[in-house]
Amino acid sequence: MKSLYDALIEGIPEDAPVDDVVSTHYGAIVRSRGNIGLSEFADGYDTRPMLESGSKLDLSLKDLAKGIKSWNMTEAAMGHAAINAWYNSPEMGRKNGLLLTDSLYSEDRIADPFITYQKEVRGKRVVVIGHFPYLEQLFKPVCDLTILEDTPYLGDYPLHAADYFLPGCDFAFIGGLAFIDKRLPHFLELAKGAFIGLVGPVTTLAPVLFDYGVDELDGFIAKAPDMADSIFKEQINKKIYASGQKISLRKKEYEAFLQLAD
């Protein structure tokens, strides 16, 4: 089987262009054919040179996406954003059977796993990688919750505790940063047998991830790229979801969609 990263890159067409690439203190933004891809930074500093030292605007979207395999974290974030510019576009969402509303902003509670899975996780052992808002209110009262975080809050565990907590868990929810820091394949292997969801606005909505043990992709599709760009760059007092729609792409529903399409 191809590596997870090669499988994601392979799905991007050769002729997709790069229209803009921006690196900010908070992450990376890539624009292509009117669509926008977002990614987070793993670190605020880099210890390795970039694989491609020339202008990123001279690359195709597919070649820029190859940066996801770089150990320069800025370049890896740009690569991830390029991947998201393709898979997290409204066109690809519809192609994969997702129902997008006509309105600009859709606060869709059914696409928030920490709301929709409150009953399912009751009494179960749950591991969440990333300290998401309201976890303590939504999950902690009903399940055996462990939160792993790169910079742990009080009560969290560090990321390297994943080898201890993920094996044997019932549910694992993994934030988008794991794409960039290359921990995602290891986390998926550790959590094998659990229900695995990838969560957060920079989650890549690529069905090929279902081949690697993922059960659900909870992410975001920007419907107003300029607004998403501004919110992400400036970190203004507005949630990124104001520029688009929360999305859940579920393995079972996607497989049923494919059968209907045939």
pLDDT tens digits, residue range 117-154? Answer: 999 999 999 999 999 988 989 999 999 999 999 889 89
Q: Is the pLDDT of residue 107 over 80?
A: no
* CATH architecture for residues 4-94: 2-Layer Sandwich (3.30)
* 99-223+238-261 fold: Rossmann fold (3.40.50)
Q: What global pTM score does this model have?
A: 0.94
Is the separation of the CB atoms in 78 and 29 below 8 Å?
A: no
Phi, psi of 101 (to 5 degrees): -75, 165
The reply to whether 99-223+238-261 shares the fold of 4-94 is: no
State both tokens at 97.
């059977």
Name the amino acid, one letter, at 72. Answer: N
The structural domains of the chain, with segments of one domain joined by +, span: 4-94, 99-223+238-261
pLDDT tens digits, residue range 15-53? Answer: 999 999 999 888 899 999 999 999 988 766 678 888 887
pLDDT-wise least confident of 38-52, 167-181, 182-196: 38-52
Beta-carbon contacts of 77 under 8 Å, excluding residues fewer than 6 positions away, are 23, 27, 28, 39, 40, 41, 42, 180
Three-state secondary structure call for residue 199 = strand
Per the prediction, the chain carries an average pLDDT of: 92
pLDDT tens digits, residue range 201-240? Answer: 999 999 999 999 999 999 999 999 999 999 888 765 468 8
